[in-house]
Chains A and B, each alone.
Chain A
Amino acid sequence: MTATALERAERRKAWAFALPGLLWTALFFLVPFAYMVAISFWTRQGREIVATWTLDNYVAFFQKAHFFKGLVVSLEITATVTVISVLLAYPLAWIIAERVPKKWQRFALVMAILPFWTSYVVRSYSWLLVLSKGGVVNQTLLSIGIIAEPLELSANRTGTVIGFVHFFVMLLTLTIYANLIQLSPNYRRAAADLGANAFQTFWHVVLPLTLPGIMVGAFLTFVLCIGDYITPQILGGNNELVLPQVIMLQLGRRADFPMAAALSLVLMAVVTLAYIACARWLKMERT
């Protein structure tokens, strides 16, 4: 066998191994995705999708209030959730990294993750048990006499935000903790030697050094939060729909695939923009 024939045989083998996976992704991901992009420029007549090229769906997104408002509500909720989660998670991550003995830290983290082993749908449902009118929180507060009327904690934005914050506090605690334990104690010693007190050391040394961990966690929060359908659908009620809910609504009774596809691509564009912004920030931070 000549060298080239051997090479050819090797290459054929390589393709044989790689092709099943490549074909699967091409056939069940790339082709459907391309098709979805195409139909986002098509229209619907009755239940049929008609291949006439138009920008109508994207125009409708900007013109019709209930589409555009979906994105606005999504962005508002995502921003609220991200800020609250970072503020709640940072102290916990710091306490676990600094105040919990080394051998208990892993246990503390495992405990923080444990409740998230219920299924996602069930977790949102269990918040309903806590937050609804007759739920645990309202019943407790009523019986103590702190409130006279049950608080509106579910079927509105508050419910959605609480349900989201629950998950993302856990996630952010992990990313910030991972960042905190990587810091060398020398930084803090140096700051102390230079006369900084505990607060100054934290504010000027530790916090800036953990910004990358916060950013990565906040980006993950943004992406997962803005694309989620389950939590707002179970806890948010029907008054304020987020974009994923609006998309699912197009699919449901109306079977408007072109509009649903266009809205999904808008959502994807927003996530991509956030990714670019985050990546650029992290790069600037490094140089």
Chain B
Amino acid sequence: MRQLSTALAALYAGLIYLFIFLPVVVLVLFSFQDGTLPVPPLNGLTLRWYEAVFSDGKLMAALGNSLLVAVISSAVACILGFLAAYAFARYTLPASALLRGLIVAPMTVSTLIIGLGLLSMLNVTGMRLSLVTVGIGHVVINLPLCFAIIYASMGGHQVNIERAARDLGAKDWQVMLLVTAPMLLPSILAAFFLSVTFSWDEFIVAFLLSRFDVTLPVEIWSMLRSGLDPKTNAIGSVVFLISVVFLVLMELTVFRKTGKPS
């Protein structure tokens, strides 16, 4: 009886894992397809689709744009989030709960609405759509997250250390930069890396707020118009590889070394 249920459990888990892995396995496998259709039968293995991807100027530009937007918008979101978290944790502000609510409000709204609102406002102001406007949108999305993560880790136990630094003659900015920030580094890094992954994969805002220079998801989106294409498999596999490498790096630097971010 026990053996039967264990066998059934293993079978069930196996089937679900098969379902979960099926698309990724097919994606990667047929990125090596020696033919123009990334579906069975597998004609043979070739690397030419990867060559096509790496020699495609538009794709490589989009890849660079994506990295640029992800890193800069995440850095801005982290800095703004850190400063705001510091203000709310260390000082008393009037209507503090309401203002904190304002900062996390974008988290409760879908990205479609954030993008649509920004787009209609930008249309009025006449600001041109570019990577800058995409970055602005990504900061709006990621600031609540960065603020929430960093604010949650600003406990009272750091206050005494900050006070000691002040007694020893450190100025405000020195306390913040040389004492508070290093103490909170694990959660700041966690916030940063999480923002980078969100920005890297974000589509709707990037799609609505960009025109000529686009990010990678938007460029891949426009590749889909040509239907099934092994080249799309290849760039998809590259994105997957980059993300997994990033995940491993994050695991090693943020979560292992310094323990879990508080």
A residues contacting B by CB (< 8 A) are 10-11, 13-18, 20-22, 24-26, 28-33, 35-36, 39, 49, 88, 91-92, 95-96, 99, 111-112, 114-115, 117-123, 125-130, 132, 134-136, 139-140, 166, 169-170, 223, 227, 229-230, 234, 244, 247, 251, 257, 260-261, 264-265, 267-268, 271
A25 to B: closest C-beta gap in Å: 6
In the bound assembly, the distance between CA atoms of A129 and B240 in angstroms comes to: 16
B85 to A: closest C-beta gap in Å: 9
22 contacts between A and B (CB under 8 A): A13-B172, A14-B93, A18-B99, A25-B102, A28-B118, A28-B139, A28-B140, A32-B121, A35-B117, A92-B13, A96-B13, A114-B244, A115-B20, A115-B21, A119-B201, A119-B203, A121-B221, A125-B220, A125-B232, A135-B39, A244-B112, A264-B112
In the bound assembly, the distance between CA atoms of A271 and B232 in angstroms comes to: 34
* B55: interface (CB < 8 Å): no
* B53: interface (CB < 8 Å): no
Residue of chain A at shortest CB distance from B88? A18
Q: A261 touches which one: B116, B139, B220 (CB < 8 A)?
A: B116
Q: B23 touches which one: A21, A127, A223, A264 (CB < 8 A)?
A: A127
B217 lies within 8 A of A119 (CB) = yes
A235 to B: closest C-beta gap in Å: 11
B19 lies within 8 A of A129 (CB) = no
Residues of chain B within 8 A of A13, CB atoms compared: 91, 172
5 A-B pairs besides A30-B102, A35-B117, A39-B120 with CB distance below 8 A are: A14-B87, A20-B83, A33-B109, A92-B12, A122-B232
Residue of chain A at shortest CB distance from B12? A91
* B40: interface (CB < 8 Å): yes
A125 lies within 8 A of B224 (CB) = yes
In the bound assembly, the distance between CA atoms of A16 and B197 in angstroms comes to: 29
Residue of chain A at shortest CB distance from B236? A122
Q: B39 touches which one: A36, A139, A229 (CB < 8 A)?
A: A139
In the complex, which residues 198-252 of chain B have their Cβ closer than 8 Å to any Cβ of chain A?
A: 200-201, 203-204, 208, 216-217, 220-221, 224, 228, 232-233, 235-236, 239-240, 243-244, 247
In the bound assembly, the distance between CA atoms of A267 and B112 in angstroms comes to: 10
Q: A121 touches which one: B86, B102, B137, B203 (CB < 8 A)?
A: B203
* B160: interface (CB < 8 Å): no
Q: Are A121 and B217 CB-contacts (below 8 A) given A31-B121, A229-B204?
A: yes
B118 to A: closest C-beta gap in Å: 5
* B136: interface (CB < 8 Å): yes
B181 to A: closest C-beta gap in Å: 13
A134 lies within 8 A of B86 (CB) = no
Residues of chain A within 8 A of B192, CB atoms compared: none
Residues of chain A within 8 A of B6, CB atoms compared: 99
A111 lies within 8 A of B17 (CB) = yes
In the bound assembly, the distance between CA atoms of A127 and B92 in angstroms comes to: 52
A166 lies within 8 A of B203 (CB) = no
Among A16, A119, A223, the most chain B Cβ lie within 10 Å of the Cβ of A119
Instruction: From B24-32, B44-52, B182-190, give the one contacting chain A.
Output: B24-32
A15 lies within 8 A of B93 (CB) = yes
B90 to A: closest C-beta gap in Å: 8
Residues of chain A within 8 A of B161, CB atoms compared: none
Q: B86 touches which one: A17, A120, A135, A140 (CB < 8 A)?
A: A17
In the bound assembly, the distance between CA atoms of A114 and B151 in angstroms comes to: 29
In the bound assembly, the distance between CA atoms of A118 and B26 in angstroms comes to: 13
* B103: interface (CB < 8 Å): yes
B64 to A: closest C-beta gap in Å: 16
* B193: interface (CB < 8 Å): no
